[in-house]
Structure 1
Amino acid sequence: MSARGRETTDMSDSDGTGSGLDGAVVAVAGAGGPAGRATLLRLAEAGATVVGADADAARLAEAVDATRSAHDGAVVIGDTVDLLDPAAARAWADKAEKEHGRIDGLVHLVGGWRGSASFTDTDPADWFLLEKLLVRTVQNTSLAFHDALLRSDRGRFVLVSAAGATRPTAGNAAYAAAKAAAEAWTQALADAFRREGGEEGPRAAAAILVVKALVHDAMRAERPNAKFAGFTDVKDLAEAIVEVWDLPARQVNGNRLWLTPEP
């Protein structure tokens, strides 16, 4: 993982909380999209039991089936969940922990994008939509899974964010503002983990992976001449997500880990 602009830590300095994913149970919010599919597969390959959630039942079922077909022995479950409903998010977290005995991570991949030609062309309706998709789902899932992540000896909350949250452009005001809000919420979760860890440091961690944008094989097929400069392939994103468990909690907690050049 490239964490540009940050001091790196020797892996031998591990505090034991970054013990890998073998035998872990990881929840994935927004599991039905291209990034979700890549993440389900990579987590399963790393030895985790994966519990995916998506609001689209058909898309989620396809992602789960694809993971099982691609990796023999993969333990992956799909739950159709409306993550805009706090009670539904909490019920999902409780069900996953009860059925599997533990929760070692939550990867937040719920996405969405709306933009405009200029700042003054921004439609306020874009904000109302993106606030739901990019902020409220982060709030509901982090609150629902907080206690379970603390009960784990390797709990991780992973948010995928965008470089635009750092340097917004005129036509992306609503999107950048929503991503910035999601990052702020995740930083607050990281501070909670830090405080709850006391002098020994955080046992759980909340990390932010920053991309410019994501690309996958279908996008390349649709636009064979496009360069997608600075974009992160969903497979590389999935690999970076897995690597979060290989690092000590204190190294990743509250940090923005850049997968694209820092602006």
Structure 2
Amino acid sequence: MSVTDRTIVLAGATSASGLALARALVEAGARVVATGRSAERLAPLSAVGAEVDTADATSLESMTSLATRLGAVDAVLPLVGGWRGGGGLAGQSDDDLQALLPALEAVRATSRAFDAALRASDAGRFAIVSSTAVARPLAGGANYAAVKAASEAWARAVAQGFAKAARDAGEPLRAASLVFRAKALDPDALVPRVLSLWDVDALELNDQVLALD
């Protein structure tokens, strides 16, 4: 298997990581569809060869519309992120939590919207970027760690859904959902791991939590 000729959706891709992934995937021969809420911020992704779509990665309606338009899809990576924290446990404000929740909302919306397409692919991949804070949460980052932990739980539920669907159909597992964990996200660490997602069978990848060095 190879990333070449795969259709890959980068949802909420206007970060440095999104741009680096789009460039590398296009260079590897993939069709990349990058989403964001700002046409202006999507322009650099278009410049490196990605198809861009002004869409909200946190909206099930928006992502379902995109999934319907695209049809066959081989991978989805929700890249909505951000950090808010500090001030110890007492400093974990409701406003900070609300600012962090879009990361979880994007994981939920994209996985639900593209579930059928990823299961239909001969090598579907759903991958999220989480944080080492899940394994060692600190008081000053409790909101952040909680959102990341919830995102991981959701991604693992997606993995169970893929496995159950394959068992129920009496077919081999072809789709995998996995988690990348990073202390501080470095595009140079993320890119090769994403490119290698098709070097490993879905059975080995599904429900895995992988460290990004």
Q: TM-score, normalised by structure 1?
A: 0.77
The runs of 4+ residues in structure 1 deviating greater than 4 Å are none
Q: How many pairs align?
A: 211
Select 2:36's aligned residue among 51, 54, 57.
54
Select 2:80's aligned residue among 89, 93, 110.
110
Point out where structure 1 has 5 or more consecutive residues left out of the alignment: 1-18, 69-75, 215-232
Preserved contact between residue 195 and residue 202 of structure 1 (Cα < 8 Å) = no
Alignment of 1:1-263 (within 5 A): 19-65=1-47, 67-68=48-49, 76-97=50-71, 102-131=72-101, 133-198=102-167, 200-214=171-185, 233-260=186-213
Preserved contact between residue 156 and residue 177 of structure 2 (Cα < 8 Å) = yes
**Structure exhibiting the larger radius of gyration computed from Cα positions:** 1
Q: Percent identity between the aligned chains?
A: 36
CA distance in 1, matches of 2:46, 2:38: 12
**CA-CA distance at 1:91 after TM superposition:** 0.3
CA distance in 2, matches of 1:39, 1:256: 20
**CA-CA distance at 1:84 after TM superposition:** 2.6
Preserved contact between residue 12 and residue 57 of structure 2 (Cα < 8 Å) = no
1:213-261 per-position Cα deviation (integer Å, ceiling 9, x unaligned): 12xxxxxxxxxxxxxxxxxx2122111111112111011101001114x
Task: Between the two structures, name the one with larger relative contact order (CA 8 Å, sep ≥ 6).
Answer: 1
Determine helix, strand or coil for the equivalent of 2:90: coil
Preserved contact between residue 115 and residue 171 of structure 1 (Cα < 8 Å) = yes
| Structure 2 counterpart of 1:206, one-letter code | S
**CA-CA distance at 1:40 after TM superposition:** 0.3
Preserved contact between residue 25 and residue 49 of structure 1 (Cα < 8 Å) = yes
Preserved contact between residue 135 and residue 182 of structure 1 (Cα < 8 Å) = yes
CA distance in 2, matches of 1:192, 1:167: 27
Aligned-CA RMSD value: 1.2
1:162-216 per-position Cα deviation (integer Å, ceiling 9, x unaligned): 11012111110111000000000000000000111116542100011111012xx
Point out where structure 2 has 5 or more consecutive residues left out of the alignment: none
